[in-house]
Chain A
Amino acid sequence: MGKLTVSLCGIELDNPVIPASGTFGYGYEFAEYYDINELGTFSFKGTTAAPRFGNETPRIAETPAGMLNAVGLQNPGVDRVKREELPKLKAVFSKPVMANVSGFSVGEYVEVVEKLDEEEQIGWFEINISCPNVHGGGMSFGTDPNAAASVTRAVRRATGKPIILKLSPNVTDIAGIARAVEAAGADGVSLINTLLGMRIDLAKRRPLLGNVTGGLSGPAVFPVALRMVWQVARAVKIPVVGMGGVSRAEDVIEMMLAGATAVEVGAANLIDPFACRNIVRDLPAVMERYGIENLKDIIGGANQ
């Protein structure tokens, strides 16, 4: 048991740092740069039943202290993920991995989870009910407590592995959604997905993104994310995975003090491929600076 160890839904993590889905592919590309076993785990690219090309380009726009993305769940589909991506992942990562699953119907979430369930390396399912960049699925499940609960109940029946519902910040009361998925059988929640935003190209006088709107991430959203982690952690008993603009070890500790059991890192991976490794390496020194002996002891510490 190291000083960085935490337990997430019954599975021990060597450290709480988790690259967020959509910023880390299926892991093997980052393994060209460093040994990704240094990470607690990672959440792989959002996977759907059928292959998806995603949205038209441009899919990325810069913002003050952050970025918008409207990738739109590009992925090869669950069958090819099992056949091609997971063997490559397994070759470079020896720990339990988090499987991020998206869908456009309750049935699709169930289908993908059922197909992935037999994969031994999958430790947790992260159920994305909060993608802001697709229409008719994604976020529409995450903005209504009843719809969020129905996805949760269906997925709950499809797997015995821990399910973590990834929540949208684009709601009036995120704690209410969190309570609804907890009551429906979720083992944990992760938040926040990106905040809906847009930009306009001044020269062309048109929306910059092909999809018009996109999800805002990066340091700009950190205080909003932290506030929501705080609210949700006080509202539910299941573990909370905090994310949103985390880019340094100090941010990880702040998220944990607000109530996060583990912390995902997203946009930072796209600016610096070594971001997560550097955060893991920086944590001991930052803990020492703030007199923290064991990370797990500070979870929710700001609320006591």
Chain B
Amino acid sequence: MKQTVLTVQTNEPIAKNVMKITLSGDLSAIVRPGQFVNLKLDGFYLRRPISVCDAEGDLLTLIYKVVGEGTRAMAGYGKGKKIDCLVGLGNGYDEKDAGDRPLLVGGGVGVPPLYLLAKRLTAAGKRVTAILGFNTKDEVFFENEFRALGCDVRVTTVDGSCGTRGFVTDALHGLDPTCLYTCGPEPMLRALYRATTCPGQFSFERRMGCGFGACMGCTCKTITGNKRICREGPVLKREEILWEN
């Protein structure tokens, strides 16, 4: 983890209520895909944790959904705006487990953290399949970006307006993945957990206080004891997940 100031380069909408922001600065603390950064926005007390979509040299790409007052303010940030940022938080995905045929499954704004992972895995010569799930076609993003990396891309929408109609689990047919990497809403994670048997790494989301393990705000129970989603997570392996209820 490193505290640093990042400078906004671009900030633009890429889908309905979804923005892509690029920031430049010291990204040396980002060591794995699936990690996140924690942004201090003017006028808001708590930082905003957002997963790393891409980090190349000194350019960071984040994708965020405008859902509340903080992200609405952030959507108004222009080029040159400086943001105090904690960089390189969380454990991230472990690429070592990928095998030859990794499957990446993202739901909504759970798609972005899989991009840097896909980039690394395709560069390592893996045959990567990416299933990207959305509610409707207005919300679809990054289909072409994943395709450009050489991934076999399957898009699903709940209303069938783009790609396969239904949920991401409706696009699993014919696949025999060596490892599942996923991020998205918890019901989606749970459905994937049940629909697959291969080794899996699941990235969870929780409301956080600090984002670096101090406040115990995002603790969850796992098979191997209590874990802080911000610190021992956000990525949990299949064998440690304990579904509540």
Do A and B originate from a single complex?
A: yes
Chain A contact residues, majority secondary structure: loop
Chain B contact residues, majority secondary structure: loop
What does the 1/0 interface line of B198-225 toward A look like (CB < 8 Å)? 0000000011111011111111110000
A57 touches B207 (CB 8 A): yes
A69 touches B45 (CB 8 A): no
B220 touches A71 (CB 8 A): no
Counting chain B residues whose Cβ lies within 8 A of the other chain, the interface size class is 20 to 34
B32 beta carbon closer than 8 Å to chain A: no
A71 partner, pick from B40, B47, B217, beta carbons under 8 A: B217
For B218, list chain A residues within 8 Å (CB). 57, 59-60
CB closest residue in chain A, given B46: A62
For A272, list chain B residues within 8 Å (CB). 3
A69 touches B215 (CB 8 A): yes
B44 beta carbon closer than 8 Å to chain A: yes
For A218, list chain B residues within 8 Å (CB). 45
Give B1-52 interface residues, CB cut-off 8 Å to A.
Answer: 1, 3, 40, 44-47
For B216, list chain A residues within 8 Å (CB). 22, 45, 54, 59, 71, 74
Known contacts A54-B219, A271-B40; decide if A24 and B214 are in contact (CB<8 Å): yes
A67 touches B226 (CB 8 A): no
CB distance from B219 to the nearest CB of A (A): 6
A57 touches B45 (CB 8 A): no
B220 touches A60 (CB 8 A): no
A272 to B3 alpha-carbon distance, docked (Å): 8
For B47, list chain A residues within 8 Å (CB). 271
What does the 1/0 interface line of A52-77 toward B look like (CB < 8 Å)? 01100111111111110101001000
Known contacts A67-B45, A271-B40, A271-B47; decide if A57 and B219 are in contact (CB<8 Å): yes
Known contacts A271-B46, A272-B3, A273-B86; decide if A60 and B214 are in contact (CB<8 Å): no
CB distance from B22 to the nearest CB of A (A): 24
A65 touches B45 (CB 8 A): yes
A71 to B40 alpha-carbon distance, docked (Å): 22
Counting chain A residues whose Cβ lies within 8 A of the other chain, the interface size class is 20 to 34
CB distance from B207 to the nearest CB of A (A): 4
A173 beta carbon closer than 8 Å to chain B: no
A25 touches B46 (CB 8 A): no
A294 beta carbon closer than 8 Å to chain B: no
CB distance from A81 to the nearest CB of B (A): 14
Give A260-304 interface residues, CB cut-off 8 Å to B.
Answer: 267, 269-274
A222 beta carbon closer than 8 Å to chain B: no
A269 to B46 alpha-carbon distance, docked (Å): 11
B45 partner, pick from A24, A33, A66, A71, beta carbons under 8 A: A66
For B206, list chain A residues within 8 Å (CB). 57-58
B219 touches A273 (CB 8 A): no
8 closest cross-chain pairs (CB), A and B:
A60-B217, A270-B210, A60-B209, A58-B207, A59-B217, A62-B46, A74-B216, A71-B216
Q: 13 A–B contact pairs at CB < 8 A?
A: A22-B215, A22-B216, A23-B214, A33-B1, A45-B216, A58-B206, A59-B207, A60-B208, A60-B209, A67-B45, A74-B226, A269-B214, A273-B3
Instruction: Known pairs A25-B213, A25-B214; list 12 more (Cβ under 8 Å).
Output: A24-B214, A29-B212, A29-B214, A53-B226, A57-B217, A58-B207, A69-B215, A71-B216, A74-B219, A270-B46, A273-B210, A273-B214
